[in-house]
Amino acid sequence: MPVIGAPIVARNILRYGGGFLKTVDLAMKEVRFLLEAQVRRNISRKDYSLEELAELDHPFAKRHGERGKPIYDPYWMVHTRTGKLKSSVKSGTEKALVSGGALMASAFVQLDATVASHAAYVVYGTSRMIPRPVLTGSLDQVSGEALGLLKTKLKALTINFRAG
C-alpha cells in the first residue's frame, strides 16, 4: 500500500521506530499463525484408505480433468494418509526493516520436504495426479482477514504514534 511522503515516514520510523518495527513484527506473527492454521485445516481432510480411493475411481487422477473429481471444494484441499504432510508444516517471520524508504516485513508457511518427501508431488502434481496448491489456496482464503489484521494493527499504531 503506497504511503504519501514515504521518505519522511521512513526517516521517522528509523529515528523513532523501534516500537513501530516491533509492532509490525507482532502483526506479522499473527498473520503467520492465521495462515498456518488455515494450511493445517486444509491438509486435514478425511483420511482415505487406498481401497476407498480406488472405489472413488482415484479422484485426484489427471484423467478426470485439471481439477480431478469434485470430492472437495475447493479442489486443492488435501486428505490425510500418514499425517506426514501435516507434520511437515513449518512457518516463520522475518524481522521488519526499512530499506530504501520502504517498509519490508514477511511471514511464511512452507512444507518441509525432509519430513514429507511427497509434498512437492501433492502441491505441483505428477504425470498422473492433479496439482493441489494448498499453500496458495490457503493464502487466498485468509488474505482478506490477514490484510484487515495488518491494517487494524498499523492504523492503531500510527494514530497513537508519539515521536520524540
Q: What sign for the dihedral angle of Cα 122, 125, 129, 133?
A: positive
Residues 4-37: pLDDT tens digits? 666 766 666 656 556 778 888 899 999 999 999 9
Residues 18-27: pLDDT tens digits? 677 888 889 9
**pLDDT at residue 123 in the model:** 92
Q: Where are the domains of the chain?
A: 21-159
Q: Does the structure show a pLDDT above 70 at 161?
A: no
Taking the C-alpha atoms of residue 132 and residue 74, their distance in angstroms, rounded to an integer, is 10
H helical segments located in 17-162: 18-42, 50-55, 84-87, 119-124, 134-159
Higher pLDDT, 159 or 137: 137
Q: Are 112 and 22 in contact (CB under 8 A)?
A: no
pTM for this one?
Answer: 0.77
